[in-house]
């Protein structure tokens, strides 16, 4: 075997080895590229799922916001209507409360009613919060209980009773016309309270008859 033959054989062997290494490198690169594609696909799928979830949450949030906006608009409408009516009621009852003898009667009735309405208002706020946000603050509930536990009529009725005893004591003898005038005043006061659908405690009303 001469040198040329050996060199040729070695060169052929090196060519085969180089070709094998090249093919192996190509296959390795192709496999790595495939893994990379699979990784990118998995990431893309994960991103797509997250984007879908966010889209669903966004739609739910928009629906909730729309519901809250509609609910608030209706609540505001009702409150403004109520405030307008109570403003008119306040004017008429405030004027009537200055009427001699029957004025305190109107004042006691309207004050008791307004205290009751404050209780209903705080209850409405708590119910509204629970409806919109599914939550309730214990401190707010305690405040509501304190407001609703205030019975103003129990404090005002004895004061009115004392005043009426003094009025009756003054209407003696030849002062019958004062009694008639007082009865007319109370008739007018009852009509006003009835107009505004203001309930009157029986005990309070009992001292208006002569």
Q: How would you write the pLDDT of the chain (210 residues) with one tens digit per residue? A: 554 444 444 444 444 444 544 555 556 566 666 656 656 656 656 756 766 677 777 777 787 778 878 888 888 899 999 999 999 999 999 999 999 999 999 999 999 999 999 999 999 889 888 887 788 888 888 999 999 999 998 999 999 999 998 888 887 766 778 888 999 999 999 999 999 999 998 999 998 987
Q: Is the residue at 180 inside a domain?
A: yes
Q: How far is CA 199 from CA 83, 114, 193, 202, in A?
A: 19, 11, 7, 9
Alpha helices in the chain (DSSP H): 3-96, 103-133, 138-148, 152-170, 176-195, 202-206
Same domain, 112 and 201: yes
Same domain, 139 and 41: no
Residue 112 corresponds to which tokens in the numbers above? Answer: 């008791």
Same domain, 115 and 58: no
Same domain, 139 and 190: yes
Same domain, 137 and 175: yes
Q: Is the residue at 11 inside a domain?
A: no
Return the number of other C-beta atoms located less than 10 Å from residue 67's C-beta.
12
Q: Is the residue at 6 inside a domain?
A: no
Q: Is the residue at 128 inside a domain?
A: yes
Q: Is the residue at 1 inside a domain?
A: no
Would you give the DSSP letter of residue 209? -
**Number of domains forming the structure of the chain:** 2
Residue 164 corresponds to which tokens in the numbers above? Answer: 């009426």
For 59, the 3-state DSSP assignment is helix
Which residue range is the domain that position 142 belongs to?
100-206
Same domain, 50 and 146: no
């Amino acid at each position: 075997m001469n040198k040329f033959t050996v060199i040729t054989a070695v060169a052929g062997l090196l060519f085969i080895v180089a070709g094998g290494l090249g093919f192996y490198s190509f296959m390795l690169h192709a496999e790595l590229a495939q893994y990379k594609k699979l990784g990118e696909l998995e990431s893309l799928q994960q991103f797509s799922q997250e984007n879908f979830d966010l889209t669903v949450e966004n739609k739910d949030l928009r629906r909730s916001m729309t519901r809250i906006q509609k609910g608030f608009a209706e609540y505001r409408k009702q409150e403004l209507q109520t405030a307008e009516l109570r403003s008119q009621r306040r004017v008429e009852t405030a004027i009537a409360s200055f009427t001699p003898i029957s004025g305190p009667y109107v004042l006691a009735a309207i004050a008791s009613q307004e205290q009751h309405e404050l209780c209903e208002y705080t209850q409405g706020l708590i119910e509204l919060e629970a409806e919109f946000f599914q939550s309730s603050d214990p401190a707010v509930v305690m405040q509501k209980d304190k407001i609703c536990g205030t019975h103003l009529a129990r404090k005002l009725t004895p004061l009115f009773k004392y005043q009426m005893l003094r009025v009756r004591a003054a209407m003696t003898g030849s002062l019958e016309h004062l009694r008639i005038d007082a009865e007319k005043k109370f008739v007018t006061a009852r009509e006003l309270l009835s107009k505004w659908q203001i309930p009157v405690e029986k005990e309070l009303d009992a001292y208006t008859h002569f």
